Amino acid sequence: AQSVTQPDIHITVSEGASLELRCNYSYGATPYLFWYVQSPGQGLQLLLKYFSGDTLVQGIKGFEAEFKRSQSSFNLRKPSVHWSDAAEYFCAVGANTDKLIFGTGTRLQVFP
């Protein structure tokens, strides 16, 4: 069955610390992979996506993610977190950009 797992429901980091949000997927073929961020009152915003090619993808706001086929993972990273990064983060997978399967999300809290 196709699924996305985000093992961490809630993560708390200090401002300036590094961040890694985990995402594992189960999919029958090479998927399209996405990370979205959701802030209160705003729609989901695409941080980055992987379709093919270089497995390390750069996104907006200083985020990056690495596709590891052997581990079925697409973890999101940021070297130095800012207070404005506090939000809900969703990993998603799909055969294309239409039918996306979302994970349950990871809520990031940033302490000053």
Partner 1 sequence: GAVVSQHPSWVICKSGTSVKIECRSLDFQATTMFWYRQFPKQSLMLMATSNEGSKATYEQGVEKDKFLINHASLTLSTLTVTSAHPEDSSFYICSARDQGTGLEEQYFGPGTRLTVT
The tokens describing 95, both together, are: 């055969």
- Strand bridging mode 45-50 / 106-111: unpaired
Q: Which residue lies nearer to partner 1 by CB, 31 or 105?
A: 105
Binding mask 82-101 for partner 1 (x = CB under 8 A): --------x-----xxxxx-
- Strand bridging mode 10-14 / 106-111: parallel
Binding mask 38-77 for partner 1 (x = CB under 8 A): ---xxxxxx--x----------------------------
Residue in 92, 94, 87, 42 with CA at minimum distance from that of residue 61: 87
Contacting positions for partner 1 (CB under 8 A) = 4, 9, 36, 41-46, 49, 90, 96-100, 102-105
